[in-house]
Amino acid sequence: MGFRPKHTAFTHLVARRISYIEGDMLINLVSFNRDTNALEVTITENGVVRTDSAFPFAHLPKKVKQQLNPLQ
């Protein structure tokens, strides 16, 4: 048996700069919680920035989900 590093529950995504546009909102991914499959995102709409810490992974577009790949 070899050494297996323990995976952390949170994955920080700020350095990867993953974002997408939905309607008139710009959504930037901040972090991903693997335990709850929820994301922390910042949403910019009409110049107003707000943070959502319980954004569901299922609401992401397919191309963004492929970049995250939560099974690894």
For the chain, give every domain's residue range: 18-57
Alpha-carbon distances of 71 from 6, 7, 40, 41, 68, rounded to whole Å: 14, 12, 18, 20, 9
Residue where the block lists tokens 């700069």: 17
Average pLDDT over residues 46-70: 88
pLDDT at 5 > cutoff 80: no
CA dihedral sign of residues 26, 64, 62, 42: negative
Q: Name the pLDDT band for 20 (thresholds 50, 70, 90).
A: very high
